[in-house]
Amino acid sequence: MIHKEGYPSIILTIIVVALITILTHYFAADYHVIIILGHLLSLFLLVTILQFFRNPSRKIIIDENSIVAPADGRVVVIEETVETEYFNDKRLQISIFMSPINVHVNRYPIAGIVKYAKYHPGLFLVAWHPKSSTENERTTIVVKHKNGQEVLFRQIAGALARRIVYYSKEGDNAVQGAEFGFIKFGSRVDLLLPTTVKVKVNLEQKVTANTTVIATFN
């Protein structure tokens, strides 16, 4: 299944592939090696784009005490930090790095009400840069759980990710595991959690959206 955000990129890729095919056959008709290389390049481009925008079906399983992974990827940060945009207090930050080969659909880590949703234009530092959380293009979304606790999560652009898509609006009913956005071409998602949660993942662990439990409420 292909994600709807991929249709424009796939159409553009098909046009590029068609142009490569036409040009190689027109200008290099007598050079079979160049034609073969052109076909291989076209195939590589098409397969790369299709795998990037794949959207595998994920069964939504509600676990009210758990905070599940909002993205596929690898845990690169587990540390306490001071969050200054919304909470203005100490939070536990858990960051997930999404490589270009990961599924890039983003999902709600908890159920509740969207209390805050904001887009921030910014830079395109590499996703593991220390200042990427505050200076890169990003979105910030806060969901309030029915237990009264709030969880903040950010989609953060990277050096390759030049477009963040999010569908959340303040007042929306967030369903745990349901899709809230998409990041194109690799980046990261930060979770800012209450410091009282019990962490269930380790650094460098690979996680899967809506499947891996990141932490549980105390």
For residues 187 and 52, the answer to whether their CB atoms sit within 8 Å is no
Distance of alpha carbon 125 from alpha carbon 132, whole angstroms: 6
For residues 119 and 165, the answer to whether their CB atoms sit within 8 Å is no
Q: Is residue 60 part of a domain?
A: no
Please indicate whether residue 50 or residue 141 has the higher confidence score (pLDDT): 141
Residues 28 and 104 in one domain: no
Distance of alpha carbon 216 from alpha carbon 119, whole angstroms: 27
Domain count along the chain: 2
Average pLDDT score over the chain: 88
Full residue range of the structural domain in which residue 23 is found: 4-52
Q: pLDDT of 63-84, one tens digit each?
A: 899 999 999 999 999 999 999 9
Q: Is residue 89 part of a domain?
A: yes
Residues 121 and 99 in one domain: yes
Residues 102 and 206 in one domain: yes
Q: Is residue 59 part of a domain?
A: no
Q: Of 66, 132, 168, 187, which residue is the catalytic one?
A: 187
Write out the DSSP string of 171-183. T-EE-TT-EEEEE
Q: Is residue 57 part of a domain?
A: no
CA 43 from chain center: how many Å? 25
- Name the pLDDT band for 217 (thresholds 50, 70, 90): very high
Residue 41 CB neighbour total at 10 angstroms: 15
Residues 32 and 80 in one domain: no
Stretch 101-129: mean pLDDT: 85
Q: Is residue 176 part of a domain?
A: yes
Residues 112 and 145 in one domain: yes
Among the listed ranges 63-77, 111-125, 156-170, 200-214, which one has the minimum average pLDDT value? 156-170
Residues 16 and 106 in one domain: no
Q: Is residue 61 part of a domain?
A: no
Residues 84 and 177 in one domain: yes
Residues 44 and 88 in one domain: no
Q: So what's the pLDDT on residue 218?
A: 85
- Count Cβ neighbours within 10 Å for each residue of 20-39 and write b for 16 or more, e otherwise: beeebeeeeeeeeeeeeebe
Q: Is residue 58 part of a domain?
A: no
Residue 16: C-alpha distances to residues 32, 44, 156 (Å)? 20, 12, 29
Q: pLDDT of 138-174, one tens digit each?
A: 899 999 999 999 999 999 987 665 578 899 999 999 9
Q: Is residue 181 part of a domain?
A: yes
Residues 16 and 73 in one domain: no
In the annotation, is 99 catalytic? no
Residues 124 and 16 in one domain: no
Distance of alpha carbon 119 from alpha carbon 188, whole angstroms: 15
Residues 91 and 183 in one domain: yes
The CATH number for 201's domain is 2.70.70
Distance of alpha carbon 136 from alpha carbon 124, whole angstroms: 5
Distance of alpha carbon 32 from alpha carbon 36, whole angstroms: 6
Residues 71 and 48 in one domain: no
Sequence length of the chain is 218
Q: Taking every pair of C-alpha atoms in the chain, what is the biggest distance, in angstroms?
A: 71
